[in-house]
Every structure is written in C-alpha cells, then in structure tokens.
Chains A and B, each alone.
Chain A
Amino acid sequence: DIQMTQSPSSLSASVGDRVTITCRASQSISSYLNWYQQKPGKAPKLLIYAASSLQSGVPSRFSGSGSGTDFTLTISSLQPEDFATYYCQQSYSTPVTFGQGTRLEIK
C-alpha cells in the first residue's frame, strides 16, 4: 500500500493568513493526488484533483502543486469558512489511500 503522510497534523492560523499543507507519498504517484476539505458532521468536499486542478466551484484561493512524492495545498488568504480538516488522497494505485488529515484551527 502507498502511505500518505500529511504535515502538520494540526495548524493554527488567522483569517487572511497564507497556509500551506504538505502531503508526502511513500513512493512516486506521478500527479495522482487529490485534496479534500471536511467540516464536522459533513462529507468530504473535493478541492483539488490531479495535484493542481481546481474543482469546479472551489474558490481560487485554493491551489495545489507537486508531483512524484511531494505535494502541497495552499490557501492564499484564509477565510472563516476555511477552518476545517484537510485530507490528501492518492489514486495512483489500489488500495486508494488517504493522509491522516490536517486540522486547521483559528488562532
């Protein structure tokens, strides 16, 4: 199985901050990397697919980059509604695997 490791596990930030979350794969996954946002009691929401493609309807302050084993999700200017947990997911091979999550909290 491909292991996905996110860092940090939790993060405190303020509205307006620029935030970066990192995801590392245990082997190369090319660009088969997706990012999700999950709020308490809700299903995950797709933000970024194929490492850097913005899902329709997602604000442009979200961006993704990387290939191979190292990937980042960047939020350029945090908004109040962005405080949530973020997950990366690899789709290079089955079993599909997710990172452990990064909890983004208000400072």
Chain B
Amino acid sequence: QVQLQESGPGLVKPSQTLSLTCTVSGGSISSGGYYWSWIRQHPGKGLEWIGYIYYSGSTYYNPSLKSRVTISVDTSKNQFSLKLSSVTAADTAVYYCARGEVVTVDFDYWGQGTLVTVSS
C-alpha cells in the first residue's frame, strides 16, 4: 500500500520561501509510471494543482505559480519536495502531495495534507 506523508513548517513569514517534503513509502518513485504532485487547497475553497515531477526530474508547473515554484526529487530517499518563494497570505492553504498515473493523470494516492499559514 503506497503512502505519502508531507512534512515541513506550518508557519512561514511573508516574503520567505515555503518548503515541504513528501516521503513516499510502499512504492518506489524510481519505478516510473507516475507523476509526483503537489496540490493545494485554500481554506474552504477548491483544489489547485501546483505541479508535478517525474522520477527522471522532468517537471511541469502551473503557469500561475511557475515563477515561484520549484519541485525536486530525491530518489535515494524516496522523497520529492516543493519550494514556493516570495509567499504572501494568499499562499496560506492545505498542501497535499499526491501520486498521479502518467497516462490518465488521476491522483490515486494522497498525503493527509499539511496546513501552511503565511503570517508574520
């Protein structure tokens, strides 16, 4: 059974960089066939795709966030990470990591989500 777990600070100051890591267990990122994704949800709102990465390092970002987002992968640790720079209060959200199948890009496994608040 694949499991994903987000970790990182729950509070980030404005203008700083939000950094989160997703640790994958029960399956190897290196096995291929999946995009490893970050998705966020503003409080009480819908879902927003941030981007995803393939095990090879190929990345795809939402153009609305592209200038501020970096997603990276560490296959030796079976982890992938999100960095979002120059954050504002508008980046306060629950951040999810998820696995997306390459062909249908359906997100079949999700982390439990972590709330990140941007505040001084």
**What band does the interface of chain B fall in when counting residues whose beta carbon is under 8 Å from A?**
20 to 34
Judge whether A49 and B46 touch: CB under 8 Å.
Answer: no
Q: Sort A-B residue pairs by CB-CB distance and give the 8 closest, nearest first.
A: A91-B105, A49-B106, A43-B110, A96-B49, A34-B106, A98-B47, A95-B62, A46-B108
* Chain B residues near A46 (CB-CB < 8 A): 106-108
Judge whether B46 and A34 touch: CB under 8 Å.
Answer: no
* 24 sample A-B contacts, Cβ–Cβ < 8 Å, listed by A number: A32-B105, A36-B107, A43-B110, A43-B111, A43-B112, A44-B47, A44-B107, A46-B106, A46-B107, A49-B101, A49-B108, A50-B106, A55-B108, A87-B46, A89-B47, A89-B106, A89-B107, A91-B106, A95-B63, A98-B46, A98-B47, A99-B46, A100-B46, A101-B46
Nearest residue, chain B, Cβ from A95 = B62
Main secondary structure of the interface of A (DSSP, over half): loop
Judge whether A43 and B96 touch: CB under 8 Å.
Answer: yes
**What band does the interface of chain A fall in when counting residues whose beta carbon is under 8 Å from B?**
20 to 34
Question: Mask for A73-96, Cβ within 8 A of B = 1, else 0?
Answer: 000000000000001010100111
